[in-house]
Every structure is written in C-alpha cells, then in structure tokens.
C-alpha cells in the first residue's frame, strides 16, 4: 500500500537520512542522479550530488522526485529546485513523504478467466461547457486541503484574502453565462493546462516542470498561432506588450476542470518586482481542484446536467495482482483520456464471482490508437483481496507468501 507518513515521522526520517549520510536518488524531467542531504530546515533542503550538474540537468524551478530506502521500505517525495550551482542544489522542504511504492505482489500476465469493466464517475453527464482534453476526477480533492470542511463562500473569501498579498488582480471566472472568447481562454480550455506567464518581458517556458503535464509551453502556444505568425508577429507577443504596458509583470490562468469539462478558471496577475513562480501554480491548481469538488458538493451543475445512462467500458487486462492491474483499450472508447490520479469504478469478474471496487490511475501509456492505464486498487476488502489472490495464483492466501515482494507490515 502507498501511505503518507505523519509530519513527525517525516521529520524523523529526513533527519535520519541526513545524519547517516544515506544516499537519495533524484529524478528530474530528463535526468537522474544520487546525492546526499547536507543541510535541512523548515523551508529548504540542501543536497550535494554525486556528479556535477548544470542547468540542463536540474534547473531552477524544475520539479524533481527523490527516493530513499529505510528499514525495508522505499520512501518518495516531490519538490522544486530553487537554487542550482555546480554539484549542489537547494530544494523546497517537501510537504509530503510517501511510504512503500514498490509493488507488493508479482503480477500475472494476461490472467485467464478474469474480465474487467469500469466506468468513470459522471462521465455520462452532458454540460454546456468546453470539453477538456483529459478527464480529471473531482473526488480526489477530498483529502487535500482544510478547505474541504468549509462552506464555499468562506473558501472563496479566504482564498481572495490570501492571494491578494501576492496578486494585485485576481478573479474567478465561470463559463456558465460567459463563453471563452479571449486568446488566453482559448488556450486553457482547449488544452486543459495552466497558462503561466513567468514574465511579460520574456516568452513562455520551453519545458513543463510537471511530469504529468500541467502548463502550456512555447511549442503548445505556437500550435494555436496563425501559420504566418513569423511575418506578422504572434498574438501572444502582442498580448505580452499590452500586458506589460498595464504594469503586469507575471500572470497565471488556471483552468477549473470538472471531470471532462473546463467550467471556468482562476486568474492572477502580479506587478512590481515580485513575479510568480511554480509555488503559485501549485497553489492555484490545488485550489481549483478544491473549488471543483465544492461546486459538485453544492449542486452547482445539477440543473444543467442532462441525464444519461451510466457508460461502462470493457478493457483487456495485460497484467494483474491483488494490488492492481494494467489494462488497455482503444483510445476512441473514452471521449477524453483519463488523467493520472483519477478514479475508476471497476467490476472484476472472477469466474462466478464479481468484485466491485475503486481504482486510481497511477500511470497512462499511449501507443498509436490504444491507451493503457496502470491501476491501483483503493478499497478492496480483505475478503475480496484474498479472493483475487487465490484466483490468480491458484493457491490459498498466506501473508508470508514468496509471491509477495515484501512482507505485510
């Protein structure tokens, strides 16, 4: 199982890794290496890498993932590079530390006698909003913030108060009565990604620091330009000049995604000497997920949603274990590709028995006209887990089976 450790345990583990000079494996966008934590405080972690790096390896603002082992478990964390010089980097102190990422059981290739069907929550709803290129679950926002327990007006008021210290202009726009008509709105609705303008004096980022793909890069933006833009100039360059003339130094347009629809966006603009960095992207993105969840909870879309039967999909199982499965199906089967982290509701048929549970999309792979999803079972009961185990491995379940990579803790 994947578990988030407590804050106290996280602090203990990082101090232990630091004091014992235990190697940490780091993976960035296109590179990887090992290093040692040389200093740690509440806001920053300093790391000395075992090989010299430059800005083409781990660059400032790049999102990286770190891994280390402790007492038979693997731990992982995500962070952002804040400083990079020679073989030293400084990263943000991680908010979360995750335990045990390795699979627990050996996966059986194309298991015989097993079939799977699934549906996506609210996939069948029809709303008059721009369709998002990716399906994004709303339910996965429930455990991410203290906002979830508060009322929607209080959440928005608290958000405005907090962001006003960093953004001289901020607003929330919904596409209920207004339709996308600005170029920036076209970009975020047709891509489902964040438009991040780090500086009105420069171009958009060349690379996306987020592994799952979250921001609009130069290449993506240029695909929306007129083919003759190299003669007449780009729409975006003209907009940057106009924004700069109004005293804007940095902007973020963050879409609010409700399952397969872009229902609105959050806008923030900075002025003066304090442009936005990726931490503001993270904050607005997380808030957009909370906002989508609260809109669902308050019934914001109930009167607009046209009723339709639940859509169920069949998929081929490529491999499976009691902990999860890898499935594949034609890309055309689902209207919008499902984003990593989204939730499937699945029915697993084991001969004469059908098991129902939820599964989280851990990985997505695209190959020509087929798409594959790596799923992790979320709420499989002990009884159903044992049933899956015994059907797959054709033997009674035992907690200390050699088919498991690790022992139960």
d(CA 354, CA 359): 15
- The yes-or-no verdict on residue 26 having pLDDT over 80 is yes
Q: What pLDDT band is residue 147 in, cutting at 50, 70 and 90? A: low
Kindly state whether residues 21 and 83 are assigned to the same domain.
Answer: yes
Residue 400: inside a domain, yes or no?
Answer: no
Q: What is the pLDDT, as a whole number, of residue 230? A: 66
- The yes-or-no verdict on residue 405 having pLDDT over 70 is no
Q: What pLDDT band is residue 409 in, cutting at 50, 70 and 90? A: very low
Kindly state whether residues 174 and 283 are assigned to the same domain.
Answer: yes
Residue 115, CB half-sphere, CA atoms under 13 Å: how many? 9
95-145, pLDDT tens digit by residue?
Answer: 888 876 455 676 788 888 899 999 888 777 888 899 988 888 887 555 545
Residue 377: inside a domain, yes or no?
Answer: yes
**∠ at Cα 331 (185, 256), nearest 5°?**
25
Mean pLDDT of the 54-71 span: 75
Count of C-beta atoms within a 10 Å radius of residue 333: 12
Kindly state whether residues 190 and 252 are assigned to the same domain.
Answer: yes
CA distances from 52 to 17, 23, 61, 274 (A): 21, 16, 18, 31
- The yes-or-no verdict on residue 346 having pLDDT over 90 is yes
Q: What is the pLDDT, as a whole number, of residue 401? A: 57
Q: What pLDDT band is residue 31 in, cutting at 50, 70 and 90? A: low
Q: What is the pLDDT, as a whole number, of residue 13? A: 92
Kindly state whether residues 93 and 135 are assigned to the same domain.
Answer: no
Kindly state whether residues 264 and 321 are assigned to the same domain.
Answer: no
Q: What is the pLDDT, as a whole number, of residue 381? A: 84
Mean pLDDT of the 220-226 span: 89
Q: What is the pLDDT, as a whole number, of residue 109? A: 85
Kindly state whether residues 141 and 260 are assigned to the same domain.
Answer: yes
Does residue 229 contact residue 239 with C-beta atoms inside 8 Å? no
Kindly state whether residues 293 and 275 are assigned to the same domain.
Answer: yes
Q: Domain containing 57 — which CATH number? A: 2.30.110.10
Residue 398: inside a domain, yes or no?
Answer: no
- The yes-or-no verdict on residue 269 having pLDDT over 70 is yes
Kindly state whether residues 197 and 227 are assigned to the same domain.
Answer: yes
Closest CA to 333 of 373, 378, 384: 373
Mean pLDDT of the 202-228 span: 87
Q: What is the pLDDT, as a whole number, of residue 233? A: 72
Share of the chain above pLDDT 90, in %: 38
Q: What is the pLDDT, as a whole number, of residue 85? A: 82
Tokens of residue 89, six digits: 């980097």
Kindly state whether residues 353 and 220 are assigned to the same domain.
Answer: no
Residue 90: inside a domain, yes or no?
Answer: yes
State which residues form the domain around 224: 131-297
Strand partners, 181: none
Q: What is the pLDDT, as a whole number, of residue 54? A: 42
Residue given tokens 């020679």 in the structure block: 86
321-345, pLDDT tens digit by residue?
Answer: 888 999 999 988 887 888 888 888 9
Task: Spell out a b/e string for 80-94, using b for 16 or more CB atoms within 10 Å of the CB, else e.
Answer: bbbebeebebbbbeb
Mean pLDDT of the 52-74 span: 72
104-115, pLDDT tens digit by residue?
Answer: 676 788 888 899
Kindly state whether residues 198 and 162 are assigned to the same domain.
Answer: yes
Q: How many domains in the chain? A: 3
Segment holding 276, helix H or strand E: none
d(CA 248, CA 3): 42
Residue 302: inside a domain, yes or no?
Answer: no
Mean pLDDT of the 283-300 span: 90
Share of the chain above pLDDT 70, in %: 88
Lowest mean pLDDT among 237-246, 289-298, 347-356, 400-409: 400-409
Q: Which of 48-62, 178-192, 220-234 has the highest mean pLDDT?
A: 178-192
Q: Which of 24-28, 171-175, 176-180, 366-370 has the highest mean pLDDT?
A: 171-175
Kindly state whether residues 181 and 49 are assigned to the same domain.
Answer: no
pTM: 0.65
Q: What is the pLDDT, as a whole number, of residue 234? A: 82
- Reported residue count of the chain is 409
Residue 214: inside a domain, yes or no?
Answer: yes
Does residue 256 contact residue 263 with C-beta atoms inside 8 Å? yes
Mean pLDDT of the 37-48 span: 93
Mean pLDDT of the 214-219 span: 92
d(CA 235, CA 183): 8
Average pLDDT, the chain: 85
d(CA 55, CA 61): 11
Count of C-beta atoms within a 10 Å radius of residue 328: 14
Mean pLDDT of the 12-34 span: 83
Count of C-beta atoms within a 10 Å radius of residue 95: 12
Among 266, 297, 328, residue at a domain's last position: 297
Residue 303: inside a domain, yes or no?
Answer: no
d(CA 123, CA 194): 23
Residue 116: inside a domain, yes or no?
Answer: yes
Q: Domain containing 141 — which CATH number? A: 3.30.450.40
Kindly state whether residues 89 and 139 are assigned to the same domain.
Answer: no
Q: Domain containing 366 — which CATH number? A: 2.40.10.220
Q: What pLDDT band is residue 250 in, cutting at 50, 70 and 90? A: very high
Closest CA to 296 of 152, 174, 185: 152
């Amino acid at each position: 199982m994947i578990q988030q450790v407590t804050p106290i345990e996280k602090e203990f583990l990082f101090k232990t890794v630091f004091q014992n000079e235990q190697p940490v494996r780091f993976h960035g966008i296109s590179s990887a290496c090992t290093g040692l934590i040389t200093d740690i405080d509440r806001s920053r972690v300093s790391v000395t890498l075992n090989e010299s790096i430059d800005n083409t390896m781990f660059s400032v603002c790049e999102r990286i993932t770190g891994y280390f082992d402790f007492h038979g478990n693997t731990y992982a964390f995500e962070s952002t590079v804040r400083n990079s010089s020679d073989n030293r980097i400084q990263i943000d102190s991680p908010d979360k530390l995750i335990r045990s990422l390795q699979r627990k059981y050996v996966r059986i290739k194309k298991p015989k006698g097993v079939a799977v069907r699934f549906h996506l929550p609210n996939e069948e709803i029809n709303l008059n909003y721009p369709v998002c290129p990716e399906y994004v679950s709303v339910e996965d926002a429930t455990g991410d913030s203290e906002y979830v327990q508060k009322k929607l007006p209080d959440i928005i008021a608290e958000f405005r108060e907090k962001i006003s210290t960093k953004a001289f202009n901020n607003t929330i726009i919904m596409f209920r009565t207004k339709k996308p008509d600005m170029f920036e709105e076209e970009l975020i609705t047709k891509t489902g990604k964040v438009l991040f303008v780090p500086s009105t004096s420069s171009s958009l980022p060349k690379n996306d620091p987020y592994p799952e793909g979250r921001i609009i890069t130069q290449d993506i933006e240029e695909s929306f330009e007129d083919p003759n833009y190299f003669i007449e100039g780009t729409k975006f360059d003209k907009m940057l000049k106009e924004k700069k003339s109004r005293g804007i130094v940095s902007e973020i347009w963050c879409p609010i995604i409700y399952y397969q629809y872009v229902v609105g966006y959050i806008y923030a603009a900075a002025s003066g000497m304090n442009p936005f960095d990726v931490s503001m992207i993270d904050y607005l993105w997380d808030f957009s997920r909370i906002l989508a969840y609260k809109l669902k909870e308050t019934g914001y879309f109930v009167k607009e949603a046209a009723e339709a039967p639940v859509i169920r999909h069949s998929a081929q199982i490529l491999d499976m274990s009691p902990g999860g499965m890898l499935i594949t199906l034609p890309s055309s089967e689902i209207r919008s590709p499902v984003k990593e982290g989204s939730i499937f509701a699945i029915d697993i048929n084991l001969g004469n028995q059908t098991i129902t549970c939820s599964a989280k999309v851990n990985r997505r792979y695209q190959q020509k006209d087929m798409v594959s999803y790596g799923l992790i079972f979320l709420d499989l009961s002990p009884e159903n887990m044992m049933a899956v185990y015994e059907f797959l491995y054709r033997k009674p379940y035992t907690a200390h089976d050699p088919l498991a990579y690790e022992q139960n803790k």
